[in-house]
Amino acid sequence: LICDPPYQSFKDLVDVLGASKGSISNMTRLHLEAGLIERFTLPGDRQTYYQIRPRAWIRMLRRKMIVFDDLSRTAERGHKLLEQESPRRDLWRLCEMRDFYGFISRKVPALIDEYESEAERKRDG
């Protein structure tokens, strides 16, 4: 986030962070898979570089939203199944999980849209 230049090679990351090659390799792979960073090369340079992707935070949150939706639906299915099996059973934990992730799933997309509109106004203004 604060490196100069805004991209770094694998060797740069090992040297600056003082971490093992294995750790850097694992973390760059995880960050690439999560969409947080991107890999690229520079013309005439054989090294591979890494940098934070534009809008990385939004991409990551949108991916998390898929998980939140799944959690809400899973809790709802569990609640329905258990409620039919034993209507008097205490299911508040499932209800709380379903309601929380359902709330997040409904509200966060609008917040992302609002943020993107605000960010666009700042860039254009």
Residue 116: predicted pLDDT: 93
86, amino acid identity: S
CA distances from 113 to 3, 70, 73, 109, 110 (A): 29, 21, 23, 6, 5
End-to-end CA distance of the chain: 24
pLDDT digits (tens, 9 = 90+) for 26-39: 999 999 998 899 99
Confidence check: pLDDT of 24 > 80: yes
Confidence check: pLDDT of 85 > 90: no
Confidence check: pLDDT of 43 > 80: yes
